Amino acid sequence: MENKEREVIPSQVQSHDLQGRTSDTPSASRCSAPPPVVEAAGNGKPPSQRGEGPQGGGSPLHDISNRTTKLPRVRQRKAVFFDRDGTLNVDVHYLHRPEDFEWLPGAREAIKYVNDAGYLAIVITNQSGVARGYFPESDVLRVYDWMNEDLESLGAHLDALYYCPHHPHGSVPEYTKDCTCRKPKPGLVLQAIEEHHIDPAASVLIGDGDRDVECAERAGVRGVKYEGGSLLEVVKRALHLFSIPSN
């Protein structure tokens, strides 16, 4: 897969695995990772079927034999993928309570802009606090639900959440693993692309870390590094720079 050139788009205003809730019922999905993969050198409501496998996951992240033959091969949807902590909200140490959540400047408006432009707004986030035993998975979902509740006042919404609860050096055995979904690995983005029939060439991932840009590249999506300021302006300039149609 050809890597995309890394882009850093500063704003003009300076200041400081597999569940389904989509669009009408915003989805919160956590990866169910298979055993570690060695890469070649030099790419609404919680579900009722939230099953857990023996290693903290249910079905594999990409079950090609069981799923791809049933999905349309033409991907026509487009998405803006957002990192969460440090991009949408102030990066509080292991944030897991809605009362500690603080939107960054222009974040809510950026999501509204993405909604109105016809893109899916999808959150892609590492949440290793689960593996470290700092908080349960339910807290990740609780914060996400609060985000969507708060966005309602603006007429905005997030379409999906994809999060990785794993860490190779965690303290909770169920989540302690070298998975394929923890950024900068592209598993979460690839999963979202498959499940929502997204065209990666018409999509962009915005995050405040180098790992976000690398994750985007490895998934075949444009990567933009957010360096502070109005996220709305960053989104507008990114879509214009990459000449991605907004309608």
Segment 74-133, tens digit of pLDDT: 558 999 999 999 999 999 999 999 999 999 999 999 999 999 999 999 999 999 999 999
Do 44 and 161 form a contact (C-beta atoms < 8 A)?
no
179-207 pLDDT, tens per residue? 999 999 999 999 999 999 999 999 999 99
For residue 199, indicate whether it is catalytic.
Answer: no
Give the model confidence (pLDDT) of 21-44 as tens digits.
344 445 676 665 433 332 323 333
Domain assignment present for residue 65? The answer is no
pLDDT above 70 (res 62): no
Amino acid 245: pLDDT: 52
Task: Look at residue 154 and tell me if it is in a domain.
Answer: yes
Cα gap 91→106, rounded to integer Å: 15
pLDDT at 71: 46
Is residue 45 included in any domain, yes or no?
Answer: no
Is the residue at 135 inside a domain?
Answer: yes
Choose the catalytic residue: 83, 139, 159, 208. Answer: 83
Within a domain: residue 134? yes
17 flagged as catalytic: no
Which pLDDT score, from 0 to 100, does residue 177 have? Answer: 96
Which two three-digit tokens encode residue 136? Answer: 């349960």
At residue 48 the predicted structure's pLDDT band, cuts being 50, 70 and 90, is very low
Confirm whether 129 is domain-assigned: yes
Summarize pLDDT for 218-247 with one digit per residue, the tens.
999 999 999 999 999 999 999 988 765 554
The answer to whether position 2 is within a domain reads: no
- Identify any residues that bridge with 85 across adjacent strands, giving them in sequence order: 89
Annotated catalytic residue, options 85, 145, 159, 212:
85
Please, which pLDDT band fits residue 70 given cuts at 50, 70 and 90?
Answer: very low
Into how many domains does the chain fold? 1
Residue 60 resides in a domain: no
> Which range of residues forms the domain containing residue 139?
7-33+74-241
What's the pLDDT at 228?
A: 96
- For residue 164, give the CATH number of its domain: 3.40.50.1000
